[in-house]
Amino acid sequence: MTAPSPDESVRPLERGLAVLRAMAADPSPRQRPSDLARETGLARSTVDRVATTLVRLGLLRSDGRDLLLTPRVMGFGNAYLASCGLPEALTPHALALADRLDESVSIAVPDQDGVRFITQAPRRRSMAVSFRIGDLLPAERCAPGALFATRWTEAERDRWLTRRRTDPLDSGFPAVPRRTGTGDDRRAEAAVIEADSIETGSIEAGSIKAGSIEADFEERVRTARETGLSVDDQLIEPGLVAVALPVRDPSGATVCALSVVSHTSRHTATSLAQHALPRMRATVDAMEHALSRQTPPPPPPDTVAAFDSSLKEELGSGFLQSLARGLDVLRALGSRRGAMSLADTARATGLPRATARRALITLQHLGYAAAEPDGYRLLPRVMDLGFARLSQLTTAQIARPHLAALVAQVHESASVAVLDGDDIRYVARVTASRIMRVDITVGTRFPAYATSMGRVLLAALPEPERLDHLRRVALHRITPHTKATVPALARALAAAAGDGWALVDQELEEGLCSVAVPVTDDHGRVIAAANVALPASRGTADRIHDTVLPPLREAARRIGADLAEVARFTGSRIR
Ligand code: PHB
């Protein structure tokens, strides 16, 4: 951070966000507290207290001596994406355009002197780089950047020139290949020398050398201003071409850019523009219409986020309450589209106004929020907190820590499965280290009707579909205990639907029983099932009821919450 912290800034919140940012920026998902101390410049004891607090808030997870970000961290980026209102209004149009053109389409917003992706509608083609929601590109290296730069103030242009000078090879942009190759290097070097020769004050336009990266970009900005569009002819890497148009809100401000991306094996930059522009323009019209029709947001809910205050009592000085409260404020700003007043923020978080105000000042100082006449608004920089990286987590990676905690509690194996055709398919599994255990691996399939997870998944279907399934599949008596008639299974599914769980006692394999509950998303839709499997000898009804079912339900709730957090704007599917 360049500017010094304002007096009112909340230091623990600054430090907590510094730790999350350092975790997100490191190429390895695992970090040791000592590494974090080095990267953030914080004292080791400070890192420990910050990490303890973040672990208790469910934002970091410790695994041995390592720390990892949890999917819950995506809640911050999700807060930005919800409050800006753009994905909600525009993503369906981007997806439709990608279908019509059969090319990748993206939406990006300006983020300081960078360009941040908020929607990706990719085509399944091998393209060397493909960007994720949350990735940040240097403005001068992509099509949207020149469009956004047409609106830069002198101060914003200076910020860009300073960044070019201090990071000529784009190492601060991990999503793009670093500038290499002699041409780029030479040009980057020339720019450094040129910029270094300017002693003080703002850098004059005349100081930019013809043929430099800076001069090329300024030329592209001029063209964007004149033509209203921008083209990327392999600025990121050989082969990648793109064309972008600005999307304006009803006030006429450019809020984002719509890009169509292709490859030189299919299009030159010029032929892509000719091919895509008519449909892109129609899409931009539809997008601008959608933005003009967005109704004013309803008032924010009374309480949206508040960490569990018992944590402070439990952990005493080891828990940084002002960090927890500040993160509540960040999340609260996502509860409503547009800006949120100080009074609403204080009400939503249950914090005194003075406390909420200091947290907001801190977020503003760090570039995560902007003060506007009607309150505070989240900024896309919030996505730097691990959004792109965490969006790549697989279902197994998301579920495994929760299954492991469950297994540690019940000492039996636990799994997550989805319905795949007429079967269930295992997507995550953690085995108990007992000698006698049930051995199944990820990818294993079983007929849904004969398994507890299959029964809760089938129970979630509308009744006609359940019956359809039972009539369509061949029912076998896999063991002497298997229910293999339509009426018996229809009763079992109705019971599972009513109870919210299912028990299968030696119906799939003799000596094996399994209890399952549904995993639901934030709308209560069943998206998967979780189970505990155990030898029938240990599966008494009492044990299952009293000691297995409650922690199984809790694990399923946590898995569902994490899956929903990851999928909320990325649309990622359970795999
Ligand atoms: C992309 O969406 O991947 C994209 C967009 C614009 C560019 C390059 C890539 O200039």
**Average pLDDT of the segment spanning 484-506:** 97
According to DSSP, the β-strands at 60-63 and 445-447 are unpaired
Q: Measuring from atom 4 of ligand 1, which residue has the nearest CA?
A: 261
Residues in the chain: 575
Say if residue 435's pLDDT is above 60: no
- Contact 131 CB / ligand 1 (< 6 Å): yes
CA-based nearest residue to 10, from 379, 373, 364: 364
CA-based nearest residue to 458, from 446, 469, 444: 469
Query: Which pLDDT belongs to residue 128?
Result: 59
pLDDT digits (tens, 9 = 90+) for 211-224: 899 999 999 999 99
Share of the chain above pLDDT 70, in %: 92
Helix (H, G, I), strand (E, B), or coil: what is residue 517? strand
CB atoms within 10 A of CB 167: 16
Q: What token pair was written down for 445?
A: 């399939």
Mutate to test the pocket of ligand 1, among 241, 259, 272, 280 (most ligand atoms within 8 A of CB): 259
Cα distance between residue 20 and residue 363, in whole Å: 14
Measured CA to CA in angstroms, residue 326 lies from 7, 15, 21, 54, 330 at distances of 16, 11, 15, 12, 6
**Average pLDDT of the segment spanning 397-418:** 97
Cα distance between residue 341 and residue 346, in whole Å: 9
Query: Which pLDDT belongs to residue 193?
Result: 43
259 Cα–ligand 1 center, Å: 6
pLDDT digits (tens, 9 = 90+) for 24-36: 999 899 999 999 9
CA-based nearest residue to 351, from 311, 298, 307: 307
- Contact 230 CB / ligand 1 (< 6 Å): no
CB atoms within 10 A of CB 478: 18
DSSP state of 31: B
With beta carbons less than 8 A apart as the criterion, state whether 528 and 563 touch: yes
Q: Measuring from atom 7 of ligand 1, which residue has the nearest CA?
A: 142
Mutate to test the pocket of ligand 1, among 137, 141, 229 (most ligand atoms within 8 A of CB): 137
533 Cα–ligand 1 center, Å: 47
CB atoms within 10 A of CB 472: 8
**pTM of the predicted model as reported, rounded to 2 decimal places:** 0.92
User: With left for phi above 0 and alpha for psi between -120 and 50, is residue 387 left, alpha or beta?
Assistant: alpha
With beta carbons less than 8 A apart as the criterion, state whether 20 and 73 touch: yes
Burial per residue of 333-368, b for 16 or more beta-carbon CB atoms within 10 angstroms, e otherwise: bbbbbebbeeebbbbbbbbeeebbbbbbbbbbbbbb
CB atoms within 10 A of CB 538: 15
**Average pLDDT of the segment spanning 360-382:** 97
CA-based nearest residue to 529, from 395, 338, 379: 395
Q: What token pair was written down for 54?
A: 């973040």
pLDDT band with cut points at 50, 70 and 90 for residue 436: low
Mutate to test the pocket of ligand 1, among 240, 247, 267, 272 (most ligand atoms within 8 A of CB): 240
Single-letter amino acid, residue 400: R
Query: Which pLDDT belongs to residue 200?
Result: 40
